[in-house]
Amino acid sequence: MIKKLQTVHLRKWKMVGVFLVIQFVFFGCRTNPPEPQVHAPGQDVQPSSIKKSDLAGTWEYRDENGAYCLTLNREGHGGYEWQGGRLLTTKLDNGRWQGKWYQTQNDREGEFDLRLSSSGKLAEGRWWYTRIEDNHSPTQSGGRFSLVQMPCSPQVERSLPSNPLAENSRHSQSSATFAAPE
């Protein structure tokens, strides 16, 4: 009787283990980076004042590698020239701007999480990869960046790398996924 009870107990724990393994496989072990806490001093976010339509226009993307242009529509969706890039806003709530980015020419995609200033003209935060080619659980980290809503100048457009060798060395550690290579 004790042996039968031990067998039933062992089966129960095996089923729990199988369930946990399935959960890890199905949902993955990754987590999104923590919510960024960056915004300009003295600028508190006004939760109800910023709408997706306020995102429409030209934005300058800035990171440690340079500055690049992207243009968004009234839904907060748009494109940029680098690697056939697209940006999709998925959520805008209480000054927090979240979305996804895609680059068809280098087969990468990821997500971003930003904090908007109270004016809605400056956003700062992080980006990360969700897929690099066939790898749907990439370990490469993303980076920090900012967006400023403003007209893009020819100087900004020229800051895009023109030499493929320079692209690989210039952006090998951390890069701008909205407009720069990985």
DSSP secondary structure code for residue 83 in this structure? G
Q: H/E element holding 23? A: helix 2-27
Band (105; pLDDT cuts 50, 70, 90): very high
Q: Which two tokens stand for residue 87?
A: 């940006």
Residue spans of the domains in the chain: they are 43-170
In Å, how far from its chain's centre is CA 122? Answer: 16
Average pLDDT over the chain, rounded to an integer: 74
With 0.75 as the threshold, say if the pTM is over it.
no
pLDDT of 113 above 60: yes
pLDDT of 167 above 60: no
pLDDT of 134 above 80: yes
pLDDT of 21 above 50: no
Report pLDDT for 2. 67
In this structure, whether the domain defined by 43-170 belongs to CATH 2.60.40 is answered with: no
| Separation CA 63–CA 5 (nearest Å) | 62
| Separation CA 181–CA 170 (nearest Å) | 9
CA dist 131 → 9, 26, 138 (Å):
41, 16, 6
pLDDT of 106 above 80: yes
For the ranges 5-14, 17-26, 42-51, the maximum mean pLDDT occurs at 5-14
